[in-house]
Amino acid sequence: MEYFLITSVLVCLAALFGFINVKFLKLPNSIGLMLITIIFSLGVLGLSVYDDTLLNAEKEIIASIDFQTVLLDVMLSFLLFAGALHTNFEQLRVQRWPVLVFSTIGVLVSTFLVGSAIFLILELISMQVDYIYCLLFGALISPTDPIAVLGILKKAGAPKKLEAKIVGESLFNDGVGVVVFLTIYKIAASTSGDVEVGEILKLFGLEVLGGISIGFVLGYITYRLMKSIDDYDIEVIITLAAVMGGTAVAHHFHFSAPLAMVTAGLIVGNDTVRSSTMSEITETYVDKFWELIDILLNTILFVLIGMEMLVLTFETDYVIAGLISIPLVLICRYASLLVPIKFFQKKLDFVPNTNLIMTWGGLRGGISIALALSLTAEMHRELFLMITYFIVVFSILVQGLTVGKIVEKLTVSKI
């Protein structure tokens, strides 16, 4: 199927489902779009009993899309830059140390907690899976998804310093999580088993430090170019070129493109940089352009996530494992945040029940599904894809719908 036709179908579905959501359901876009798409896909499955034409067409669309490449190599850079561009830099600066610890040590601890727990659970239900593959699952499910978090948290009414922690962690931990996943993937895929520690550290350092470094360079170049002119059309194009060119360069040198885009977006979106580089009309156009990009790609992404259920293998053991994994992952996230929050809470005056809110507000999304789809058959792809889908759907539909009420109930005041 031609790419233009596929894109056209996805945009039309996103527009239709978005209209239905805004007109009737009035849910946050990410939640509403996923819910409507899942219902639509279930309806297509039911209709296929009598006529499978629509089901075959939908399956052909899904089969024609390399979800991993589309999300990780293309969409993610645009979405992260847009998210970082509108992040409160001052609050993030104040919360930089807990955000750094949450997005690095927190991801690593969660990876091993989830991996170990899922290994034991699968043993209990008589499913034999190597520990390294369970760790691989731990790595793909541990990062919270900034795309899901940003869209839902805006309407949750969270205190600003709590929002900075959750958003900041989500912006950075997906880049770190992808690097951790790739590192464990390389070990798991090694036929000889001889993967040196130095090689792992080199891969990790190159991805993380290289990504952040190129992000700083991109952000600075973008800042200098925008400061030297006053033409909102060209300045918008400069930001677009920074994302597209920066992503291409990061991929070429095997740096982390997500971390590069987050860093560049934070620099360009910083209030100090904005005031010295952008006129009022330029700032309006830049913000509106990236808001539109954010909304468009988000709608397409959550429609795709909903449609991905058609590629799942529904076996009883897989479903049981998926259901058990939902509370398991939440418990592991709570445990991975416990020590850092205890360490920082007095120094930075954390809001009450920060750990509970960050646990429930740490949503999973398309990134986890994309990484699960990249697993090989030997790595139990179908099993972990099913588990991942259960967690993601629960995360967005249940956690996403209730996080606002949880925030309101557990925090004493909005700061």
Domains in the chain, please, with CATH? Answer: 64-410 (1.20.1530.20)
Largest CA distance in the chain: 66
CA atoms of 299 and 115, how far apart (whole Å): 31
Give the residue among 119, 48, 22, 33 at the shortest CA–CA distance from 380. Answer: 119
Report residue 415's pLDDT band, with 50, 70 and 90 as the boundaries: very low
Mean pLDDT in residue range 186-193: 74
Provide the percentage of residues in the chain whose pLDDT is more than 90: 57
Cα–Cα distance measured from residue 143 to residue 288, given in angstroms and rounded to the nearest whole number: 28
Q: What is the dihedral of CA 185, 187, 191, 193, to 10 degrees?
A: -170
Reported as a single tens digit per residue, the pLDDT across 336-352 is 999 999 999 878 878 88
pLDDT tops 90 at residue 235: yes
* pLDDT at residue 3, as a whole number: 82
Average pLDDT over the chain, rounded to whole? 89
- Top pLDDT among 79 and 201 is at 79
> Which residue, 209, 274, 279, 267, is CA-closest to 243?
267
**What value does the mean pLDDT take over residues 349-365?**
89
Residue 174: predicted pLDDT? 80
Most confident of 160-169, 340-349, 372-381: 372-381
Mean pLDDT of 89-97: 85
Contact 216, 267 (CB under 8 A): yes
pTM above the 0.85 mark? Answer: yes
Give the mean pLDDT of 244-253. 95
Of the pLDDT bands very low, low, confident and very high (cuts 50, 70, 90), residue 385 is: very high
Q: Distance between CA 268 and CA 234 in Å, rounded? A: 15
Percent of the chain with pLDDT over 70: 94
